[in-house]
Every structure is written in structure tokens, then in C-alpha cells.
Amino acid sequence: MHAGGPRELVLRCTAERLRIEVSDGNPEPPRRRRSAGDGAGGHGLIVLQRLSRSWGTAPSGDPRGGKTVWVEVPCPPDPWGPWKAWGAQGPPTARGRSEARSGAS
């Protein structure tokens, strides 16, 4: 790896966003690298910029030095949100339809 490998990976999730933090021992900020021509590298910052809501770098809190690169991406809506209050079986109307089908067999 060009930065000597990550020292730490931190994931922070809220209902609105996922923040990913990767710390390494290299104090240099990330920069675009030329692709090797075989498509095998140099795309990390492009992907990060296109997929993220925001991103940045900060000095690492590690006494050995280094940096932390962070990125924030929006979290998709919770598809089970409306059903959570009813538990695994869903709301009473869904249970009634399910029971009617199983009783008709």
C-alpha cells in the first residue's frame, strides 16, 4: 500500500450518515496518482469524491504521527422503519392477510 497500510478504521453511523475514518502513518495529504494504465490503481480519490457527501483529512491523533482521511456518505432510509413498532409480524392488517392465506390451504 502506498501509505504503509492503515493503522485504524473507524465507522460512525447515525440515521442520516455513515462516516468512515481511516488513519495511517503517512503525514502527507492524499493526492491523485496517475493510473498505471492497467486500471489497477490511482482511482481512490475519484471514487471518494463521487460517492461522498463530504470528505477531508486531519492530522492523526496517534503520537507516531500520520493522518486520518474521512468520508461521509448518506445512509439510505430504513426500509423496516414503518414495521418496527409491530415487531416481526408486521401490522395487524398484514397479519390478517397472512393468516387468511395460510388458513385457506
Residues 48 and 88 in one domain: no
| Segment-wise mean pLDDT, segments of 10 residues, the chain, 105 residues | 73 89 90 70 80 90 89 81 64 50 43
Model confidence, pTM: 0.62
CA separation for the pair 8, 62 (Å, rounded):
10
CB 17 within 8 A of CB 55: no
Structural domain includes residue 1: no
11 residue type, one letter: L
Residues 57 and 32 in one domain: yes
CA separation for the pair 19, 23 (Å, rounded):
13
Residues 69 and 84 in one domain: no
Based on the structure, what is the number of domains in the chain? 2
Residues 97 and 69 in one domain: no
Residues 40 and 87 in one domain: no
Which residue range(s) make up the domain with 23? 6-74
Buried b (16+ CB within 10 A) or exposed e, 90-99: eeeeeeeeee
Residue 31: the pLDDT is 82
Residue 19: the pLDDT is 92
